[in-house]
Amino acid sequence: MKSSPKGSTVSRETQLPSPQQTRTIVIVNQKGGVGKTTTAVNVASALARGGLKVLMMDLDPQGNASTALGINHQPGIAGTYEVLLQHAKIADVQQPSPESENLVVVPATIDLAGAEIELVPQVAREQRLRKAVSAHLADSAVDYVIFDCPPSLGLLTLNALVAANEILMPIQCEYYALEGVGHLLRTIDLVKDELNPELEIGTVLLTMFDARTKLSAQVGEQVRQYFPDQTLVTLIPRSVRLSEAPSYGQTILGYDPQSVGAKAYRRAAEEIAQRGARLSVEAATVGATR
Ligand code: ADP
Ligand code: MG
């Protein structure tokens, strides 16, 4: 049951392999400014342009992912807040992104800032997003659900860690890159033990890599030692074009498709799609020989 790319927006892109089951990926790192949102929107757009059906859920009250994907998220627009606190259906609040006909977005408005507190007294407060996403996937064909999180480990991020099966951790190639990662890993272990045994760190992506500095190379090396299987071969370079794109309500793939940043994010998305496809094949092979 696979979507084939239609229309001119995706026809020039290489078709990416679709996963056997919907992949739910949470972009997480409790540090701000490490490239979470930039990674979320560009990977989402690259997967969608590669012919895959993508749902992006913006969980950051700042709504930067919504902005970058050309989505209206002014106060009063329904989005993630209504899904978490008012039982709104994802299908009723998602908006099509001008990036690709394969990409829809559940926007974040500033209302979401209150959700962190408003969720506290709710029943099964950390399961809200998981339930909404499961209900949506029961009757919609989606290849990838991607969650962009705020820079904290509060209830919004926790909801995403419970709703997703995979973590994509962007790590900025700078001093103290791994500072705080220990805390994040302990949180992930707790979530696995108590709330979501399926959660795994699937992907680590090195961001803002500066080939001219020794420091970037050293950090990259250290991260690869720490996460040998998860770290993508592709590095995201530091590039001004990447930081300019959101102010035009575009990802780098729309804003400057031939730039180094666009090429890097296309390769990263391809690696993610290929690795997932390979894992599914391995799982199928193991199943068949049992
Ligand atoms: P986070 O979501 O983790 O807070 P962002 O993705 O918003 O991080 O990135 C923080 C800032 O750095 C933004 O201004 C963004 O445009 C910029 N940025 C992100 N990735 C790059 C990059 N590879 N090169 C240059 N600037 C980048
Ligand atoms: Mg962000």
Sorted by sequence, the CB contacts under 8 Å of residue 39 that are 6+ apart come out as: 27, 168, 170, 205, 207, 236, 265, 268
Phi, psi torsion values for 213, nearest 5 degrees: -105, 145
User: Is 197 buried (19+), middle (13-18) or exposed (0-12) by CB count in 10 A?
Assistant: exposed
Give me the pLDDT at residue 240, please.
97
Q: From the alpha carbon of 261, which atom of ligand 1 is closest?
A: 23
pLDDT above 90 as % of the chain: 86
| Nearest C-alpha neighbor of 256 from the set 267, 246, 268, 241 | 241
- 256-282 residues labelled b (16+ CB within 10 A) or e (exposed): beebebbebbbbbbbebbeebeeebee
What's the CA gap between 269 and 39, in Å, rounded? Answer: 10
Pairing of strands 23-27, 144-148: parallel
Report the interhelical angle of 155-163 vs 181-194 (nearest 10°): 60
| Nearest C-alpha neighbor of 105 from the set 45, 171, 191 | 45
Q: From the alpha carbon of 38, which atom of ligand 1 is closest?
A: 6
With H, G, I as helix, E, B as strand and everything else as coil, classify residue 207: strand
Mutation test residue for ligand 1: of 209, 243, 255, 263, the one with most atoms within 8 Å of CB? 243
Q: Report domain 23-289's class.
A: alpha beta
216 in contact with ligand 1, CB cutoff 6 A? no
Query: Domain ranges in the chain?
Result: 23-289
Encoded tokens for 181: 């990662």
Encoded tokens for 209: 């890599």
Phi, psi torsion values for 70, nearest 5 degrees: 70, 30
Cα of 58 vs centre of ligand 2, distance in Å, is 9
Kindly report the protein residue whose alpha carbon is nearest to atom 4 of ligand 1. Answer: 33
Query: Tens-digit pLDDT profile for the chain (290 aa)?
Result: 334 333 334 446 789 999 999 999 999 999 999 999 999 999 999 999 999 999 999 999 999 999 999 999 999 999 999 999 999 999 999 999 999 999 999 999 999 999 999 999 999 999 999 999 999 999 999 999 999 999 999 999 999 999 999 999 999 998 888 888 888 999 999 999 999 999 999 999 999 999 999 999 999 999 999 999 999 999 999 999 999 999 999 999 999 999 999 999 999 999 999 998 665 555 555 544 43
pTM of the model: 0.93
Using an 8 Å Cβ cutoff, are 40 and 144 in contact? no
Cα of 9 vs centre of ligand 2, distance in Å, is 26
Give me the pLDDT at residue 175, please.
83
